[in-house]
Structure 1
Amino acid sequence: MGEIGETDYNTAVFEYKPIEEVKSYVPLVIDTIISAVNELIDMGAQTLVVPGSFPLGCSSSFLTVRASKNKKDYDNRTGCLIRYNELVEYHNDLLKKKLNHLREVHPNVIIIMMTTTMLPCKLSILLLNSSCCGGGGPYNYKINSLAQCGHVLATVCNDPDAYAYWDGIHFTEAAYRIRFKSLFKGQYTTPRFNSLCRTPTPTSTSQVGVALSGSQIQR
């Protein structure tokens, strides 16, 4: 499944709508996701992967557009905006409940949810809150459209693999590698991929075993 709802939240935040109004969108977004999942099941889908929302409060775009002078608005561990990550937790919790109900209705269908709320703890090995490509400012993200990534006035970092965000919204390849390992080889899916796809024991050199098991990540 695609990441339904991200643009709805982003647009509302960039238009400076109150957080309470943005939260009111969550049930509508979740209903849309569940409707899309049901439609695919009706079409014969047997295994679906449904992503939860990412920690929006960690992106350089949110940190720039909704910056606060109150230090209590920021997570001491990650520097992320707490209230927007709480919005993501609300989204993911409601999605999880709805997907659990779908599993009861469709017991023969495998529905896997990606849960990435705590992913910043893994991404913290990179420059988490700054953009590689941007127009300056504390997080290298400018509200001014003339300085956004891709414009002649924007600059690009020398080492994209050191950054989590490319342009303030989208992840870098380095971040996607960490996401892959965390999701497909760790504990960020329900059920876990390594419980669905185990390594077969090769009986000859011509056989190749593919595994999706590995690192243990504590939430």
Structure 2
Amino acid sequence: MASSTLLPLILVFLHGLRGGNGCFTTIFSFGDSIADTGNLLISEHGNIQSARPPYGQTFFHRPTGRYSDGRLIIDFIAEALGFPFMRPFQEGPGDGGFRRGVNFAVAGATALDVHFFRERGMDVLWTNISLQIQFGWFKELLPSLCSTDSDCRNLLATSLFLAGEIGGNDYVIAFGRGKSLSEIKSYVPIVNHAIGVLINDLIELGAKTLLVPGNFPIGCIPVFLTLFEHSEDHDLSTGCIKWLNDFAQYQNKHLQLELDRLRALHPLATIIYADYYNPIMNIISNHNNNSNGKVTLDACCGGGGPYNFGNPVHCGDDRASVCDDPSLYISWDGVHLTEAAYRFIAEGLLEGPYADPPIKELCSPIRLIRDDQAHKVDDA
């Protein structure tokens, strides 16, 4: 394992004024565990994996319901734009209200409603939260944020919407139930249509700027590496499973076609595709092609076994172990990423090249300051 850190961790993108940069007034977030800042924790009364140490150890120094050792992509974006960390919808508005933003993302959420899976013989036991349910929460909340149609349209026009990442769980369910690749590929346009419906509905209400992430290279993630451990299609240069990464690229290509369709329908809206695939592949390729040696695909936190994942002991269990330095790892718990990996993706969304246009072109200036000048832990 390389002795240097996986990513440059000294700087974080932050605007100089904590109150915001005059570009976006509010941030709204939809999605699953990649963006959940505490909704599942609250709804399950703390009886979840991410409610236990070592979750949150790197930045918050306590579990917050985030499925990582620290901050998520949404956290870095909020910091960069001068916003406080996103309040989970289930927490309620608190004293400050939701005017600065609200996070509807829930760990385990799917793009499609649960009946889609049940009709195809797949029981979904851990969630009934889909994108449409999250959109329903948004519509329920909106009258408390603006009093007239004109006021609401102005609020939404000056807000940043993060529509995902979502859809990954839809595929996890299908792969885990042994569905064939050809059948799962047939779900792709249905999943992307559900994402498109959310985007279209938000734009029709007045949204102007939307960031829509694609899928990760799932062939490099321990949950899939373990599930398909005996696959003969491993890439010797990366250790990833090629056909799974091909599927992720297939999903991302079709999502981008859906976004092109929506751009044609709504030429006044800015719909940004957020590339979550290439940042991770670039980390792996850059490390594997230099003197630092190959980056591990193992989970930092887990219970042993192949890729430190896949046996009954999981991160957050008493018998689980955690690596000494999560910044040397891409995967945190075998399913989700480390703060270091999320930071690298967020940097590419803010500065480019993993968003077109990058967020800095919409909200300039964004400047670099040291991480020790970032939000304090009690802001979470």
TM-score range, shorter chain: 0.7 to 0.9
Q: Give the aligned partner of residue 118 of structure 1.
A: 278
CA distance in 2, matches of 1:184, 1:74: 32
2: CA distance between counterparts of 1:128 and 1:19?
27
Query: What is the aligned counterpart of 1:17 among 170, 179, 189?
Result: 179
**Structure 1 residues not aligned, in runs of 5+:** 199-208, 213-219
Q: TM-score, normalised by structure 1?
A: 0.83
Alignment match, 1:52: 214
Following superposition, the deviation at residue 83 of structure 1 comes to: 0.9
CA distance in 2, matches of 1:77, 1:37: 38
Deviation at 1:194, TM superposition (A): 4.4
- Equivalent residue runs for 1:184-195 within 5 Å: 184-195=350-361
The alpha carbon displacement at 1:210 in A equals: 2.1
CA 1:95/1:159 → structure 2, altered by over 3 Å: closer, same or farther? Answer: same
Percentage of identical aligned residues: 42
The alignment partner of 1:131 has SS state of coil
1:41 aligns with 2:207: no
Cα distance, 1:195 vs structure 2: 4.0
1:128–1:46 CA distance, 2 compared to 1 (3 A): farther
- State the Cα RMSD in Å: 1.9
1-structure distance, mates of 2:319, 2:260:
48
Letter in 1 for 2:278: M
1:122-177 Cα deviation digits (max 9, x unpaired): 322484411011111231002x3x21222222211111111111111111111111
Q: For residues 128 and 112 of structure 1, what CA distance do their matches in structure 2 show?
A: 31
Q: Moved runs in structure 1, 4+ residues, more than 6 A?
A: none
Deviation string for 1:53-81 (max 9, x for gaps)?
A: 111111011001111252xx112332111
Written as runs of structure 1 = structure 2, the 5 A alignment for 1:95-134 is 95-124=255-284, 125=287, 127-134=295-302
The question of whether the paired residues in 2 share the 8 Å contact of 1:56 and 1:85 is answered with: yes
Separation of aligned partners in 1, 2:258 and 2:320:
42
Pick from 161, 164, 167 the counterpart of residue 2 of structure 1: 164
Cα distance in 2 between the residues matched to 1:193 and 1:92 = 20
Query: 2:326 matched to 1:160?
Result: yes
Q: Which moved more, 1:95-104 or 1:114-123?
A: 114-123
* Structure 2, unaligned runs of 5 or more: 1-162, 288-293, 369-380
- 2:223 touches 2:334 (CA, 8 Å); kept in 1? yes
C-alpha separation between the residues in 1 aligned to 2:231 and 2:199?
41
Q: Which amino acid aligns with 1:37?
A: I
Aligned-partner Cα distance in 1 for 2:219–2:249: 11
In the alignment, the residues of structure 2 paired with residue 69 and residue 85 of structure 1 have an alpha-carbon distance, to the nearest angstrom, of 13
Q: Which position in structure 2 is the counterpart of 1:202?
A: none
1:197–1:211 contact (8 Å) kept in structure 2: no
Is the Cα contact below 8 Å between 1:78 and 1:120 reproduced in 2?
no
Corresponding residue SS for 2:297: strand
1:137 aligns to 2:293 (yes or no): no
Q: Residue in 2 aligned with 1:173?
A: 339
Q: Is the 8 A contact 1:49 1:114 kept in 2?
A: yes
